[in-house]
Chains A and B, each alone.
Chain A
Amino acid sequence: MTLRAQLSILAVLGVLLAALGTTLLLSSDMRDTSAWALASPFMMLSFIGVGLFAWWRRPHSGFGALMTAVGFVFFLSAPAASDAPALYGLGYLFGSLFLGTVVHMLLAFPEGRLDGRRERWLVGSVYGLVLGVNLVLLLLNGPLEDQAHPRNAYVVWDATGVAKVVLGIAEGLAVVLAAAVIATMVRRWRAASAPERRSLGPVLWTGAGLILGVGISLGLDLVGAGDTVAMVPDLVALACLLALPYVFLVGLGRRRWFRAGAIGSLIQRLSAAHRQGSVREALAEALGDPSLRLLYWLPRDQRYVDLEGRAVELPDAESGRGVTEVRAEGRRIAALVHDAALLDDPDLVEAAGAAASLALENERLGAELRARVEELEQSRAGIIAFGLAERRRFERDLHDGAQQRLVALGLQVGMARSKLREDPARAEGLLDGAREELRQAQQELRELARGLHPAVLTERGLAAAIAGLVERATVPVEVRAMPPERLPSAVETVAYFVVAEGLTNVAKYAGARHASVAVERINGHAVVEVRDDGVGGADPAVGSGLRGLADRVGAVDGRLEIVSPPGAGTVVRARIPCASS
């Protein structure tokens, strides 16, 4: 059954019960003609009608259901109009229960749930008191009320004196509870942000008027003031109770009116917003939320940044902040991080976001540019540091490798020369050693030169250069894909080093049995991938090789991605922009 159907059934039930209550009231011989009794069916219908409307508008909030419940609880007091003693007693028992539901509704406003222990305790106490005192008065034959009524059918101990004492204590407790409820409402108001106050205001203050009226009326009763004096706060309480559902409706209308005004002035302010940050100020003012933050979406990086282009995370659910996404033509452009109270009025936030979407898109582009500049600066610094480290490494490799070989070679040739005449066999052995040193020096120089820039890459292209890397690899490597045409020189160079570093890592750390390499052109990008079936767990933050590689890829506007879950192999993937030539 749809929510609409369920709410319709409740509406019909409400009307029927109100009619039944009115019939009971009108047909009673001992007619209660007090204002409260006469207003009862009207209040019942008001609370049920407005409550169902609120329930329908915001099905996930419990507030509509609570307001509807207040209406139905009113009906529980209707049997008090009956001439039948048993029915009258039941009506009397539940006659004040509505006060419990109203306090519950007020303290649960606007979300429909009680947040703190203190609130739950308070509401529980009010329910307990309004039911408990009436039960005691019924059982002990207490003074039920001033109006004429049938006899009390539930007396178990005729102790009117004791019942009067209980009534006095209960009235005192009720005054204390009323004060505690008002104090809680005032505290909520003081702790509320501007948007929260806008939403809490009308209902909270009318509710406070009701509780105050009830409290003063009970207090006056307690000190024995006359009925005429007590009538004033009593009528104030009744007026507030009657007004409560309509004040809620006025609040909704006020919100709509506020929304129209806020969006109008927002558009005006945005047209004059040329300074950096002025869009935020305009939106903050329109939403009445000075704590508003704007985050801008970078689709390429799939992350949010602030206006300065610095990466920012969205607040989590426990932070007490609300997040509303702003989209333009189906694309996400920004997120408004605002006071969670604004989630009560999503239409306002969405309308403000939509009105500011053009200005937000402009600021988004600026933020994206700043993020890119920051990224490039970091990448440039990384490239310089990487270059210096590489030069140091080359110097060390030359010193420890070829240079040592050449030193040994020189010494051996010198010794061979001195032995040439007196010991030709020894000289021959020394020259053999020298030739081996020379061969190894050549090999090491070739490796070094290849590390600087592989000549085969320039002369024969990426496929040939990668074929060389594959041939020298320590594990079998399958070449899965290779572009048929030459790529721009800078792209080929970076792609080559991605594969070279990837295969070096396979040999050094992966413990793999097999690896594969692929270079493909996809959507204007060269996608370079080195995949192995090794131990995984590669961390770019640890090794300088992958970090340097990320900078190298970043320098040509590309992105390096390492997927390396422990025990499940490693994928090194670079996406390098590569427009068709």
Chain B
Amino acid sequence: MAKTVLIVDDHPSFRATARMLLEAEGYDVVGEAPDGHSGLECAMRLSPQVVLLDVNLPDLDGFAVAARLTADDVVGPPEVVLISSRDGSDYGPLVLASGARGFIPKGELSGEALEAVLA
């Protein structure tokens, strides 16, 4: 069965492209959110298996959102994968410390790259 994905990113053009790409690769994109607060709300409501989460959101820091999504008191937390148009080396150990499974530069997003991070 296809993995369910929530895309949290403030750029509509990226969300549209990412949805197209992931659906073409067999993922089920169940929702999109343009900022951290609505991302948290969608995650609670839709319970996706994977949250594709932008680091730079207009309201909350992506790392803080990742930490909330993967906190100990969350039942059945999603797998969080951070994304950014910046390079992953800009963030160093922050990615794993936030509870996320890994980081994918936006320009390298693909079903294969996502699979590799989640593996």
Contacts and interface: CB of A to CB of B under 8 A. Distances in A.
Interface of A: 399-400, 403-408, 410-412, 414-415, 418, 437
A412 B107 contact: no
22 contacts: A399-B86, A404-B13, A404-B14, A404-B85, A404-B106, A407-B14, A407-B106, A407-B107, A408-B13, A408-B14, A410-B107, A411-B17, A411-B18, A411-B106, A411-B107, A411-B109, A414-B21, A414-B110, A415-B20, A415-B21, A418-B24, A437-B13
Contacts of A415: 20-21, 24
Interface in B16-74: 17-18, 20-21, 24, 56
Nearest to A410: B107
Interface of B: 11, 13-14, 17-18, 20-21, 24, 56, 85-86, 106-107, 109-110
A399 B56 contact: yes
A415 B17 CA distance: 10
A408 B14 CA distance: 6
Nearest to B108: A410
Contacts of B20: 415
A415 B24 CA distance: 9
Chain B contact residues: over half helix, strand or loop, or mixed? helix
A47 to B, nearest CB: 86
Given A399-B85, A415-B24, A404 B11 contact: yes
Nearest to A399: B85
A399 B87 CA distance: 12
A403 B13 contact: no
A407 B110 CA distance: 12
Nearest to A433: B17
Contacts of B109: 411
Contacts of B86: 399
Nearest to B105: A407
Nearest to B83: A407
Given A400-B11, A403-B85, 19 more contacts: A399-B85, A404-B11, A404-B14, A404-B85, A404-B106, A405-B13, A407-B14, A407-B85, A408-B13, A408-B17, A410-B107, A411-B17, A411-B21, A411-B106, A411-B109, A415-B20, A415-B21, A418-B24, A437-B13
Contacts of A407: 14, 85, 106-107
Contacts of A410: 107
Among the interface residues A403, A404, A405, which one has the most CB atoms of the partner chain B within 10 A?
A404
B104 to A, nearest CB: 11
Contacts of A406: 107
A407 B17 CA distance: 10
Contacts of B17: 408, 411-412
A410 B110 CA distance: 11
Contacts of A412: 17
A412 B21 CA distance: 8
Nearest to B9: A404
A437 B109 CA distance: 17
Contacts of A399: 56, 85-86
Nearest to B24: A415
A289 B90 CA distance: 67
B23 to A, nearest CB: 11
A418 B86 CA distance: 25
B91 to A, nearest CB: 14
Residue among B13, B24, B106, B109 facing the most chain A CB atoms (10 A cut-off): B13
List the 5 closest pairs (A to B, CB-CB), nearest first: A407-B106, A410-B107, A403-B85, A408-B17, A407-B107
A310 B21 CA distance: 64
A414 B110 CA distance: 9
Contacts of B21: 411, 414-415
A255 B110 CA distance: 98
A407 B14 CA distance: 8
A336 B30 CA distance: 78
A415 B107 CA distance: 12
Max chain B C-beta neighbours (<10 A), residue from A399, A408, A410: A408
